[in-house]
């Protein structure tokens, strides 16, 4: 009886270790699928992808007219992809007389939620193609980090941008702090899946988005601030310090493109203005509308007056619901998609603003 009791106690003591071992084995057995990542080597496109944790490489010289599969439902060819490397950023991005604007923020690799929001609210159809006509879709930054389907969102937006343009609409991808973090090799928040991608490919995650890659070059052409009609769109916010420095939207976008996109931010430490722009009061990180008790409507009015606009739409700071502050002059639309919540989509339609749910329910604000 004593021997049986000792054996039982030994078995019980081993349960935590056996459980951990099984969990580890379960994680290791999950296949990794990712890509493609496409790079320009001289005049040849190198395409790498990971399927069932195995790396494949293909090469497409200029004379190769074969289609390159970039998603299950999307293909492109050499001539179309190579156009990315001739993109020139538009620093002064101001659009007028737009009847319909849809805005979503901080999707952080949550591909399915992102798609469901766009489908439910008529931005794309069930085949994931553009359905919004001459409307404008604004992605308010932070597609990267935390979630495990960043690549899928990026390629979908890459293709959607072209579809929208053909229909007379537009897709605006505004940079957030997590995009710039990836450019700057700050990988603290990447999903564990992408650690495995690094190990399988032998490439640092940031280098997958270098200026020599299709997606990296495309992202570097994107702005930090834009205006549509009487609305300013920016990831974090516009602090009083920005207008005190007399920084127009064109200047902010130019500085980020020329100084931050892929540069070593440590090397910029001595430049006070650049440090400000990439700091807590800069457009990517600012949270003052929600966290600074000294921020007043008078300060906000001075910002809006400087840019000659009526309201600001931001993401970055997470809330359970859309936050509307200062007499309908600030809208905070980050509603927790990063945490797997359904989030909300903000819709502007002929002068009215609506909160749109993942079920397609539209509520006037």
Domains and CATH numbers, the chain: 34-85 (no CATH), 94-364 (3.60.21.10)
**Hunting for tokens 């890459």 — which residue is that?**
158
| CA–CA gap between residue 345 and residue 353 (Å, rounded) | 10
Cis-peptide, bond into residue 13, ω within 30° of zero: no
Check whether 23 has a pLDDT greater than 80: no
pLDDT band of residue 6 (cuts 50, 70, 90) is very low
Task: Compute the mean pLDDT over every residue in the chain, rounded to the nearest whole number.
Answer: 91
Residue 314: C-alpha distances to residues 101, 138, 140, 274 (Å):
14, 11, 7, 21
Q: Which one, of 137, 158, 149, lies nearest residue 113 by Cα?
A: 149
Q: Can you give the pLDDT at residue 101?
A: 98
Lowest mean pLDDT among 53-57, 81-85, 87-91, 219-223: 87-91
Q: Give the per-residue pLDDT at 264.
A: 58
Averaged pLDDT for residues 2-7 = 44
* Distance between CA atoms of residues 248 and 29, nearest Å: 52
Tokens describing residue 290: 């929600």
The answer to whether 256 and 277 have CB atoms below 8 angstroms apart is: yes
Asked whether the beta carbons of 130 and 124 are under 8 A apart, the reply is yes
pLDDT band at 268 (very low <50, low <70, confident <90, very high): low
First to last CA, the chain: 73
- Percent of the chain residues past pLDDT 70, beyond the cut: 89
- Give the mean model confidence (pLDDT) for residues 114-133: 98
Question: What does the block give as tokens for 142?
Answer: 């932070």
Over 90: is that where the pLDDT of 26 sits?
no
Tell the residue number behind the tokens 């979630």, with chain if given: 147
Give the per-residue pLDDT at 261.
63
Q: What is the mean pLDDT of residues 218-234?
A: 97
Burial class (CB in 10 A: 0-12, 13-18, 19+), 292: middle
68: its two tokens: 């390159």
Confidence of residue 24 (pLDDT cuts 50, 70, 90): very low
Q: Quick one: CA torsion of 75, 209, 140, 226, rounded to 10 degrees? A: -100
Q: What is the pLDDT of residue 272?
A: 82
The residues facing 311 across adjacent strands are 231
Q: From the CB of residue 240, how many other CB atoms can be counted at a distance below 10 Å?
A: 19
Which phi-psi region, left, alpha or beta, contains residue 316 (left: φ > 0; alpha: ψ -120 to 50)?
Answer: left
Q: The whole model's pTM is what?
A: 0.90
CB–CB of 320/336 below 8 Å?
yes
Cα–chain center distance at 48: 22
128-184 residue pLDDT tens? 999 999 999 999 999 999 999 999 999 999 999 999 999 999 999 999 999 999 998
**pLDDT above 60 for 207:** yes
Of 262 and 71, the one with more pLDDT: 71
Between 23 and 363, the more confident residue is 363
Flag whether pLDDT at 21 surpasses 80.
no
pLDDT of residue 30: 84
pLDDT at 263: 58
Question: How do beta strands 330-332 and 311-314 pair?
Answer: parallel
pLDDT at residue 2, as a whole number = 43
The answer to whether 193 touches 33, Cβ cutoff 8 Å, is no
Q: How confident is the model at residue 13 (pLDDT cuts 50, 70, 90)?
A: very low
Q: What per-residue confidence (pLDDT) applies to 262?
A: 53
Instruction: Note the pLDDT of residue 20.
Output: 37
Is pLDDT above 60 for 300?
A: yes
pLDDT for residue 275: 87
| Number of residues written out for the chain | 365
User: Which pLDDT score is estimated for 282?
Assistant: 97
């Amino acid at each position: 009886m004593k021997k049986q009791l000792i054996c039982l106690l030994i078995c019980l003591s081993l349960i935590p270790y056996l459980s951990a071992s099984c969990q580890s084995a379960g994680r290791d057995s999950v296949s990794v699928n990712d890509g493609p990542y496409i790079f320009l080597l001289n005049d040849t496109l190198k395409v790498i992808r990971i399927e069932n944790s195995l790396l494949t490489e293909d090469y497409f010289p200029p004379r190769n007219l074969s289609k390159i599969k970039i998603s299950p439902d999307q293909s492109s060819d050499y001539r179309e992809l190579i156009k990315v490397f001739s993109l020139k950023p538009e620093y002064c991005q101001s659009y007028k007389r737009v009847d319909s604007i849809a805005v979503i923020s901080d999707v952080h690799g949550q591909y399915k939620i992102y798609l469901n929001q766009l489908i439910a609210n008529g931005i794309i159809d069930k085949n994931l193609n553009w359905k919004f006509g001459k409307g404008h879709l604004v992605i308010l930054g932070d597609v990267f980090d935390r979630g495990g389907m960043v690549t899928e969102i990026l390629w979908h937006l890459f293709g959607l941008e072209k579809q929208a343009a053909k229909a007379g609409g537009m897709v605006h991808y505004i940079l957030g702090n997590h995009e710039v973090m990836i450019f700057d090799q700050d990988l603290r928040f990447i999903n564990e899946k992408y650690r495995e991608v690094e190990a399988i490919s032998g490439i640092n995650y940031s280098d997958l988005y270098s200026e020599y890659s299709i997606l990296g070059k495309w992202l570097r052409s994107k702005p930090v601030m834009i205006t549509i009609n009487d609305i300013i769109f920016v990831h974090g916010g516009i602090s009083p310090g920005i207008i005190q420095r007399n920084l127009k939207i064109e200047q902010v976008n130019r500085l980020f493109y020329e100084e931050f996109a892929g540069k070593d931010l440590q090397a910029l430490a001595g430049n006070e203005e650049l440090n400000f722009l990439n700091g807590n009061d800069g457009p990517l990180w600012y949270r003052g509308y929600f966290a600074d008790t000294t921020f007043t409507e008078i300060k906000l009015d001075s910002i809006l007056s400087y840019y000659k606009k009526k309201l600001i739409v931001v993401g970055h700071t997470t809330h359970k619901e859309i936050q509307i502050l200062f007499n309908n002059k600030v809208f905070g639309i980050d509603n927790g998609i990063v945490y797997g919540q359904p989030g909300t989509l903000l819709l502007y339609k002929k002068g009215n603003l609506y909160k749109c749910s993942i079920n397609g329910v539209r509520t006037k604000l």
